[in-house]
A and B are shown apart, each in its own frame.
Chain A
């Protein structure tokens, strides 16, 4: 099992589109806590993601989502085990969506050993930098959970099977 330097936490999104910046917000919060893992902010571009997570022991992704529940709802996916129900959209020159990137990563055998995804239901996605109160609260909870899990990884994860599922899911 790898050391904590093998852990990469990625925030995906656009900090200038209100709640789409929740991934970056969680990374900011984790860095302020001095989390013992590498952190990275990536704007939506699946190609960069494939490269970033290749060969890692554990990668945690935080991203805004639509359609998983009321604003601020958090869903956790174990991307290597869970089916992520999302329609594959047409591939364009500019980017791949997260489900497309997962599909391509699985096909090319270019995935990390463990890949966890936190999806947070967004509300406001117009121009602006503030998060909705519900999303901000959810983001702080997600940061807290990730901080705890990193401290305990891999022992807690191994002991609980999937410690995340006893967390703050709503």
Chain B
């Protein structure tokens, strides 16, 4: 399958008018990161786990940092906490801009890929590339480089940026905010299938802010837990047809993480500008159509630009770029909002601060059962659709989730078997 990260395939078995079986085969080999971490110093986890993904390394760095700080009993706040949110703004901007225009929009407009789309929509593609560049610049300034940043450490950063370095980004972020509002208009004008499953959305929720780094885990169907209770509420299952584990809510089944979940569970924490744009796009407060996730990503682009501008405006360089950490035994939990949804880390440390064991649950693993569920429902509703068109629509459904198969290996050739 094109325009997703990683290797996989989709098999659909249809008997008469009934969809009997849908399975998303993930055949990328496991990478054993959790085992690689055993015996390593706690301080190494952010840089090792960042290597799981080239698009959302910040998410891996943030979740591992928070987990280690939890284990060591340290709290990072003030300007350092704000810089972490700023770093996340950069990652959301570059990831969302690429997915919306280069990977997802061609589905709606009938192009094989963004390279073909660029012939007819050059200005939109140029805008996407410029937006991505601004996200990368944020990562460069804060993280030392845009892919696999090197300036993040447990307790904060190796070096805090000077105010002037952040101020230099303001004009481009102002442009990016306006471009993102144009992107919302572009996305809301796309043709959307009528498809609204009864999802259980799961996301972080924080009383004071739209979630990046911290909050309780909540759902629209009753979940409201501390992140340390994640494994009491959710589990990962081995599935024969997938090298990726499948997320499952214990006693509840499939659930959805990512922009749609964040948006529906945290709409009140978005800014007036985003609220106005959402209302104009026709999805204010409630959006259950996964295809409209493309609009939500554009709204999150607007939010990320506004939040970045706020943080830069209020920034005062901290006296120390990091909080000192003791080495001691402990167990810690981290859960942050990667562009694709919640990323959970849990580590146990020995008295020397060495990692005894770790657990990493990426967003795409959690979304896989829901992707299969969406596919099953969609194919059943469109059982008479020609196979070529069905393949196109199925790929579109998968891309609604912006899946990162490499991360989840844990992706698509479509095989439709009709009897």
For the complex, give the distance between the alpha carbons of A107 and B113 in Å.
13
- Kindly state the separation between the CA atoms of A2 and B99 in the bound complex, as whole angstroms: 37
Interface residues of A in 99-131 (CB under 8 A from B): 100, 103-104, 107-110
Report Cα–Cα, A16/B147, bound state, in Å. Answer: 16
Binds B, one of A23-31, A86-94, A141-149: A86-94
A92 to B5, CA, bound (A): 6
Interface centre among A91, A94, A108 (most CB of B within 10 A): A91
- B2 contacts chain A at the CB level, 8 A cutoff: yes
A108 and B3: CB pair below 8 A?
no
- Of A42-50, A61-69, A73-81, the segment with at least 4 beta carbons within 8 Å of chain B is A42-50
> A91–B115 contact, CB under 8 A?
yes
Please tell me if A51 contacts chain B, counting CB pairs below 8 Å: yes
Contacts of A48 in B (CB 8 A): 136
Q: B55-82 toward A: CB 8 Å interface, digit per residue (1/0)? A: 1000000000000000000000000000
Query: Interface residues of A toward B: which range?
Result: 20 to 34
Partner of B126, one of A43, A103, A110: A110
Please give, as numbers and ranges, the residues of chain B lying within 8 Å of A104 by CB-CB distance: 114-115, 118, 125
Contact A90 B113 (CB under 8 A): yes
Number of A-B contacts (CB under 8 A): 58
In the bound complex, CA of A3 to CA of B314 (Å):
42
The answer to whether B118 touches A93 (Cβ under 8 A) is no
User: How far, in Å, is B373 (CB) from chain A's closest CB?
Assistant: 24
Whether B102 lies near A91 (C-beta < 8 A) is yes
A93 touches B115 (CB 8 A): no
Q: Which residues of B contact A92 (CB under 8 A)?
A: 2-5
Q: Which residues of B contact A88 (CB under 8 A)?
A: 113, 115
Residues of chain B with a CB closer than 8 A to A91's CB: 2-3, 102-103, 113-115
Judge whether A107 and B115 touch: CB under 8 Å.
yes
**A90 CB → nearest B CB, Å:** 3
A47 to B133, CA, bound (A): 8
In angstroms, how far is the closest chain A Cβ from the Cβ of B301?
Answer: 15
* Complex: A103 Cα to B125 Cα, angstroms: 13
Q: How far, in whole Å, are A92 and B136 apart by their CA atoms in the complex?
A: 17
Question: Smallest distance from the beta carbon of B26 to chain A beta carbons, Å?
Answer: 16
- Docked Cα-Cα span, A153 to B113, in Å, equals 38
Closest residue on chain B to residue A110 by CB atoms: B126
User: Would you call A103 and B404 a contact (CB within 8 A)?
Assistant: no
Nearest A residue to B94, CB-CB: A47
CB neighbours of A94 from chain B (8 A): 5, 54-55
The contact string, 1 if C-beta is below 8 Å from chain A, for chain B 69-112, is 00000000000000000000000000100110011000000000
| Residues from chain B with Cβ under 8 Å of A50 in the complex | 129
B122 touches A93 (CB 8 A): no
Judge if B132 is at the interface, Cβ distance under 8 Å. yes
Determine whether B389 belongs to the interface, using a CB cutoff of 8 Å to chain A: no
- CA A50 to CA B98, docked complex, whole Å: 14
Chain B stretch 111-164: residues in CB contact (< 8 A) with chain A: 113-115, 118-119, 122, 125-126, 129, 132-133, 136, 147
Contact: B98 with A93, CB < 8 Å?
yes
| Cβ-defined contact, A107 with B122, below 8 A | yes
Q: A100-B115, A107-B118, A108-B122 are in contact. Are A93 and B99 (CB under 8 A)?
A: yes
- Per the bound structure, the CA–CA distance linking A69 and B216 in Å amounts to 58
Given contacts A91-B113, A91-B114, contact A107 B119 (CB under 8 A): yes
Distance in angstroms from A97 CB to nearest chain B CB is 11
Once the chains are docked, how many angstroms separate the CA of A50 from the CA of B114? 15
| In contact, B98 and A108 (Cβ under 8 angstroms) | no
Residue ID in chain B nearest A95 by CB atoms = B54
Q: How far does the Cβ of B410 sit from chain A's closest Cβ, in whole Å?
A: 16
Given contacts A93-B55, A93-B95, A107-B118, contact A47 B3 (CB under 8 A): no
Whether B122 pairs with A45 at a CB distance below 8 angstroms is no
CB of A47 within 8 A of CB of B129, answer: yes
Question: What are 7 inter-chain pairs, A to B, with CB distance below 8 A?
Answer: A90-B1, A92-B4, A93-B5, A93-B99, A93-B402, A95-B54, A104-B125
Q: A91-B103, A93-B95 are in contact. List 4 more A-B contacts (CB 8 A).
A: A51-B133, A88-B115, A90-B3, A91-B114
